[in-house]
Structure 1
């Protein structure tokens, strides 16, 4: 009697219990959160700091999750093949995390985070899943703040190019400007100091992030996807230069207060224009969706 009752009961428990791979995945996620908690806090602080350089970062995990959802049919067909070779990534990743914590270096820890995600994916589901998800995982890199050296290498040229574009536009429409470095003098008008916050770095990074997602979304060839991503950089610089020029025009025509007010809200306007330009390029490249 007891044996007859026990067998159906055990069978019911097995049916209710999730797949062991799911438990392993959940456990890995919890361990990942604990191991990288301080890094996540650093990222969050960068995402919400007043400069807004990495404000796009908070959206990146959701965009990456949508990329994974786009591959749901292929993932459903794929057969899990957990691999012990994944520890060739997991162990170095954990050592890098320890080094990044002790140094401390958020750059090293960020690199180890990506390595560990790849390693866990291979360990739990297999390298065939890594092949399906390599780009959504790599895309998570867009939420990570750049190291200071790389930030300078991008922001300084962007600052110079944006100033050049703005000065060229102002001269083209009839303003007699005088440029000194990244400062544009408009005689009798609203002078423009193109500092790092106005360099276009924020737009370049935001546009590159969106372009990478959009290129994956439209489903065209790899070559055309690369063209779309690369095109985001000149678009961002040109649009940012246009914004700077418009600030100068508004400030010169309607006064300093109007120029400053336009400066505060025009960033959203030009971002819409930049995204619209990117959408159009996507259509030219054969947007399939």
Structure 2
């Protein structure tokens, strides 16, 4: 069944009106595809294949579904033609520069900005405003600069390693720590390796935003509380991940802990984090349902 537009009229499925596109519009669409595909290939090869970027394919597929689930917006060209002419050429030059020097994060950001300008030009500002949540969600595909990631996560890594050492020491394990280094028995682990799941923070932020968007909590307070809970949930989930990996290293050896078990621990921790967010949502929902 066709979805309904805001005015109540039936909206055709995405791309069902390709025959109505002009030759110029088809050329622009083909050019956009040619612009995006090399960047997606580079992201898949150099970022999505790592633990920090493994969420990329999920965000890409689900984000495109959210963006077009109400059908393709009608063309409303001409609203910001001047802006496109002024910013389009510098962005294309920026993409060329980023690809030449293999600056993947800058390249992805420039491609994203170029597509956003195309959307503003062909769909109009109103259509973009109506889809700002899926667009912001797709922005999580942009690879963050390594220096920014290190600067933001290093204090968390130190804190998580110290708490993990304290918990395991209280449980009677021969464990000690210094900074991001954890030593258990004869093994040494770097939290940079054992806690690569800190990249899941971005994934959880993205998933939390879409969860709020789809479930539409009953009040603004509920929304704010749920979004604020994502960061502590992610930190607790990664603390659990580090503890699991230290225990695996101690009981079965470093080889197992850093092979398939490492990835399984990351998946288990991510699932636990999502369940934690659902638990917070349930608690908030029951609290708001209570008579005041």
Q: State the TM bucket, normalised to the shorter chain.
A: 0.7 to 0.9
Name 1:100's counterpart in structure 2: 95
1:253 offset after TM fit, Å?
4.3
Contact 1:86 1:123 in 2 (8 A): yes
Name 2:60's counterpart in structure 1: 61
Q: Of the candidates 189, 205, 210, which is equivalent to residue 208 of structure 1?
A: 205
Name 2:275's counterpart in structure 1: 276
Give the alignment of 1:176-191 within 5 angstroms.
177-186=175-184, 188=185, 191=188
Residue segments in structure 1 that go unaligned for 5+ positions in a row: 1-15
Q: Of the candidates 176, 192, 195, which is equivalent to residue 195 of structure 1?
A: 192
Name 2:19's counterpart in structure 1: 18
1:133 offset after TM fit, Å?
1.2
Q: 1:43 to 1:256 in 2, by over 3 A?
A: closer
1: CA distance, partners of 2:92 / 2:133: 22
Relative to its length, the structure with more helix (as a share) is 1
Contact 1:94 1:116 in 2 (8 A): no
2: CA distance, partners of 1:36 / 1:199: 28
* TM-score (norm: length of structure 2): 0.76
Q: 1:96 to 1:224 in 2, by over 3 A?
A: farther
Contact 1:156 1:196 in 2 (8 A): no
1:272 offset after TM fit, Å?
1.4
Note if 1:133 corresponds to 2:131. Answer: yes
Name 1:5's counterpart in structure 2: none
1: CA distance, partners of 2:75 / 2:254: 63
2: CA distance, partners of 1:26 / 1:285: 48
1: CA distance, partners of 2:229 / 2:145: 24
1:53 offset after TM fit, Å?
1.5
Calculate the aligned-residue CA RMSD, in Å: 3.1
2: CA distance, partners of 1:172 / 1:128: 57
1:109 offset after TM fit, Å?
2.8
Name 1:164's counterpart in structure 2: 162
Contact 1:107 1:146 in 2 (8 A): yes
1:58 offset after TM fit, Å?
1.1
1: CA distance, partners of 2:151 / 2:193: 12
1: CA distance, partners of 2:278 / 2:53: 22
Name 2:111's counterpart in structure 1: 113
Q: 1:227 to 1:60 in 2, by over 3 A?
A: same
1: CA distance, partners of 2:253 / 2:198: 27
Contact 1:239 1:270 in 2 (8 A): yes
Aligned length: 265
Contact 1:216 1:225 in 2 (8 A): no
Give the alignment of 1:232-271 within 5 angstroms.
232-253=230-251, 259-260=257-258, 262-271=261-270
Name 2:31's counterpart in structure 1: 31
Contact 2:157 2:180 in 1 (8 A): yes
